[in-house]
Chains A and B, each alone.
Chain A
Amino acid sequence: MIIDHPLLGPRDSAEFTYLGDARLLDRPDPQSETAAAEFHDYGYIRDNPAGWHEELWFHEAGDRSWLVVTRNTLTHEIREVRLARDVARERRAKG
């Protein structure tokens, strides 16, 4: 697989390590009444879809940036690659 890094251009996926579903950016509020249940779901439960999947990749052997890659788990086609920083800021702005 080739990941089209937004800053560095196309890079071999072997340069990256994989973390998982990009929902991991949305850390639950530890002060919430239901924090225990929310952290259980955050830590252990996954959608695991067959099809388009937003996921976190770390450019470990490159510029060490975190990326959000939108990839099809049935075909390995990659539709969109963004800096995780930008995605996280956008989500925070939306609340």
Chain B
Amino acid sequence: MRYSGFRVIKEALTGHKGWTAAWREPDPQPAYDIVIVGGGGHGLATAYYLASKYNQHRVAVIEKGWIGGGNVGRNTTIIRSNYLLDGNEPFYEFSLKLWEGLEQDFNYNAMVSQRGILNLIHSDAQRDAFIRRGNAMILNGADAELLSTAQIKERYPFLNTENARFPIKGGLAQHRGGTVRHDAVAWGYARGADSRGVDIIQNCEVTGFRIENGKCLGVETTKGFIGAGKVGCAVAGSSSRLMSHAGMRLPMESHVLQAFVSEGLKPVLPGVITFGAGHFYVSQSDKGGLVFGGDIDGYNTYAQRGNLPVVEDVCEGGMAIFPMLGRARLLRMWGGIMDMSMDGSPIIDRTHIDGLYFNGGWCYGGFKATPASGYAFAHLLATDTPHDTATAYRFDRFERGLMIDEKGMGNQPNLH
């Protein structure tokens, strides 16, 4: 069923009796050409692009819980492509371009809102770094604008530009950045993939891989063995756990990132704002809640909850630039588990096992990457060659000295 304004009117006039389920709930077939493990944003996007762009229709997505129940439903919904390094920027710009056409492409309202993102500058050194980053963005076809303090005061009058410790000295804006309704991304990709013949199998946990003579033949699941020509894993957060079934150890640790939402407020915040002196980023949802977050907690964990010191740190960062935040009450907070990789950048690559492919290590930047990650992973699965924008995301980059370390923190995952 195609969704359209006409359809809404027709259904409104006929008692909404014509709506059907957005996707099927099939039982698994004995075998598929390609099996994707993980029904999150990246797994569903991979299945969608396999079906829509690479003409692969014997595809299944296997999800241990319900689709969109992991990090795609837990993030702070920000999209942007303001990266510095060559390995990253073309990929994230490709992703932002896919976001711009996404809703028409998969015929689903994902509420893509390019309300702009502003990274605040608090020191001369930071201004130099942001000018360099802005130039790198422009060189890669993205948009970037350096704003003066006066321009920031005019556009964002509520910001505390005179903070004695961290005065606001300007900002780097990307006007094409913004927010997206995160759950709708999972649902839109699921519906798009399902309508093109992909089987989405929920409540089916992968418990192992069947590997013979160095080739992966399929996956063992709680619903039995499912054969596959190729298996693609996209389970960021649980990557080490899943890949340990194939005897692999990965260059990553699992960490928890907390996110927060305030009670609903009238519109106060025109876009996404990030505080550059600490780590704090905030936007306002269409429902009115201020959605914000900060750093990861910083220790290995698989518990989807964090601890209070980080809550305090995040709220201090918010209060520093945004004193009016102190009058709002916190409504909810939650945690999601991140694959924190050794250089802060992801991996989309083949493994040493024939027929087994890996997508993960997204740190806490996976949401914005969803479309390009799915596209690039679909390209890899369908053609066995990396997508043009994802050639740097290889397993062997650590031993070859080709790290993509945006923050320059080295092999210390909790600092990325």
- A contact residues vs B (CB 8 Å cutoff): 1, 12-14, 17-21, 36-37, 40-41, 43-50, 53, 55, 71, 73-76
Contact = CB atoms under 8 A, between A and B. Distances in A.
A44 B251 CA distance: 5
A86 to B, nearest CB: 21
A40 B403 CA distance: 13
B3 interface: no
A47 B240 contact: yes
B398 A14 contact: no
A1 B300 CA distance: 13
Given A48-B240, A50-B241, A74-B302, A40 B254 contact: no
Interface residues of B, number: 24
Interface of A is mostly: mixed
A41 B250 CA distance: 9
Given A45-B250, A73-B254, A20 B303 contact: no
Contact of A48 (B252, B298, B412, B414): B252
Contacts of B251: 44-46
B249 to A, nearest CB: 5
B398 A73 contact: no
B316 to A, nearest CB: 13
B171 to A, nearest CB: 30
B299 interface: yes
Interface of B: 238, 240-241, 249-254, 298-303, 307, 309, 342, 398-399, 411-414
A48 B250 contact: yes
Given A36-B399, A48-B300, A49-B240, 17 more contacts: A14-B309, A18-B299, A20-B300, A21-B300, A37-B399, A40-B399, A44-B251, A45-B249, A46-B249, A46-B252, A46-B413, A50-B302, A73-B300, A73-B301, A74-B301, A75-B303, A76-B303
A81 B321 CA distance: 39
26 contacts: A18-B299, A20-B412, A37-B399, A40-B399, A43-B398, A44-B342, A44-B398, A44-B411, A45-B250, A46-B253, A46-B413, A47-B249, A48-B241, A48-B300, A50-B238, A50-B302, A53-B300, A55-B299, A55-B300, A71-B299, A73-B300, A73-B301, A74-B301, A75-B303, A76-B301, A76-B303
